[in-house]
Amino acid sequence: MREELSRIVTQAEEAIAGAQTVETVEELRIRYLGKKGVLTRVLRGMGSLPPAERPLVGKLANEIKVRLEADLAARISVLKEKEKERKLAAEKLDVTLPGTRPFLGSVHPLTAVRTEIEDIFLGLGFQIVEGPEVEHEYYNFEALNFPRDHPARDMQDTFFVSDEVLLRTHTSPVQVRTFEKTAPEVPVKIIAPGKVYREDDDATHSPMFNQIEGFAVDTRITLGDLKGVLHSFVRQLYGEKTRMRFRASFFPFTEPSAEVDISCVICGGHGCRVCSHTGWLEILGAGMIHPRVLEVSGYDTEKVSGFAFGMGIERIAMLKYGVDNIRLFFDNDLRFLQQF
Ligand code: FA5
């Protein structure tokens, strides 16, 4: 029986060493060590052995089992390693192929326009300041020379939070907040970008939109300075050939007041659908700061004067990119945003 066992070991080890796949090794495990395997079958014949020999043969059988298990495991790991090498050898890496571009997102068109406007005014010596969006009635209206119950307050349909607290309807309150801190010091040259709110809603008006306020106070500031600064601004934003004109207008906090038009950026002033065939596009409101506004904050208007202007960022962006509905800026539709 010992001879038979040693013959089985030799045979099994040869077969294992020759196995070329993991599956074959598994088959061999079943054939030699399985419940109906060769080893079990041989051991069943132990009954015919003299009793003294039985434990010895049993021990030997156990050793063989352990040895074959080890052989099987070793063969499997060799085969797996070979398989890995084979796969690696088959794989080709072409380092000249173009990579896959990660999706990085892009700057929102309103942010891009705001940054561009800010950069132009920073270049003209202005500083950036921000004010609160939830504002007191005093800063939004009263100090800006909108008298209580005056119809001028209706120019801007207001969202009230309480009797005297509201969502600011424009960025002009930042003028007053700034003057309270700076007066009587000059010069002051500030731009104030930010969100504002009005009860408006159509293709070119949104209940929330963005404005940029600009203002300067110094000795001997004139309407000429305002024109110079604004003309420099529109030429940098829309190109050297852009013309600009002032149209008399009214704001309670400026005197005189003007609405500022530029030659149509689409047709160059010849007349088209965008400019309603006038050749001009309105882009902002402006004027010389009303003496009352300077005085309530502590400026001596015998000594100093100032100009101010305010523009809607969405309007500038719509003209710049040819967007005809203001909603598109706020829908967050990637198909729209990815174009910028
Ligand atoms: C003002 O808000 C003044 N504070 C501007 C100003 C500042 C004048 C300093 C003089 C001195 P107005 O109400 O015209 O003015 O608004 C300014 C700009 O905001 C408009 O030209 C327009 O481009 C934009 N705008 C107004 N309402 C909306 C709205 N609902 N949605 C989008 N843009 C708007």
Ligand 1 centroid to residue 34 C-alpha, Å: 88
Asked if 37 and 31 touch (Cβ cutoff 8 Å), the reply is yes
Candidates 90, 89, 241, 7; CA nearest to 15 is 7
Question: For residue 330, what pLDDT is reported?
Answer: 96
Ligand 1 centroid to residue 310 C-alpha, Å: 6
Amino acid at position 162, single letter = S
Question: For residue 186, what pLDDT is reported?
Answer: 96
CATH of 109-337, one of 3.30.930.10, 3.90.550.10, 3.10.20.30, 3.40.50.1380: 3.30.930.10
Residue 155 pLDDT exceeds 70? no
Question: Is the minimum distance from the CB of 173 to ligand 1 under 6 angstroms?
Answer: no
Question: For residue 5, what pLDDT is reported?
Answer: 83
Domain ranges of the chain: 2-91, 109-337
DSSP string for 67-78: HHHHHHHHHHHH
Q: Is the Cα dihedral 224, 314, 249, 169 positive or negative?
A: negative
Lowest mean pLDDT among 30-34, 46-50, 278-282: 46-50
- For 193-219, the pLDDT digits (tens) are 999 999 989 999 999 999 999 999 999
Question: For residue 331, what pLDDT is reported?
Answer: 95
65 HSE (CA, 13 A, CB side): 16
CA distance 255 to 260: 14
CA distance 178 to 338: 38
Ligand 1 centroid to residue 238 C-alpha, Å: 19
**Is the overall model pTM greater than 0.85, yes or no?**
no
270-296 burial: b if 16+ Cβ within 10 Å, else e: eeeeebeeebbbbbbbbbbbbbebbeb
Question: Is the minimum distance from the CB of 200 to ligand 1 under 6 angstroms?
Answer: yes
Question: For residue 292, what pLDDT is reported?
Answer: 97
With a pLDDT cut of 70, the percent of the chain lying above it is: 99
Question: For residue 4, what pLDDT is reported?
Answer: 83
Asked if 296 and 143 touch (Cβ cutoff 8 Å), the reply is yes
Residue 165 pLDDT exceeds 80? yes
The two structure tokens encoding residue 60: 């030997």
Residue of the CA atom closest to atom 3 of ligand 1: 310
pLDDT range class, residue 152, cuts 50, 70, 90: low
More confident residue, 267 or 126: 126
Pocket test of ligand 1: the residue of 121, 166, 170, 259 to mutate, having most ligand atoms within 8 Å of its CB, is 170
Which residues make beta-bridge pairs with 312? 211
Question: Is the minimum distance from the CB of 197 to ligand 1 under 6 angstroms?
Answer: no
Residue 243 pLDDT exceeds 90? yes
- For 80-139, the pLDDT digits (tens) are 999 999 999 888 888 899 988 888 888 999 999 999 999 999 999 999 999 999 999 999
Question: For residue 325, what pLDDT is reported?
Answer: 94
Q: What length is written for the chain? A: 340
Ligand 1 centroid to residue 312 C-alpha, Å: 6
- For 272-330, the pLDDT digits (tens) are 988 899 999 999 999 999 999 999 999 999 999 999 999 999 999 998 888 989 999 99
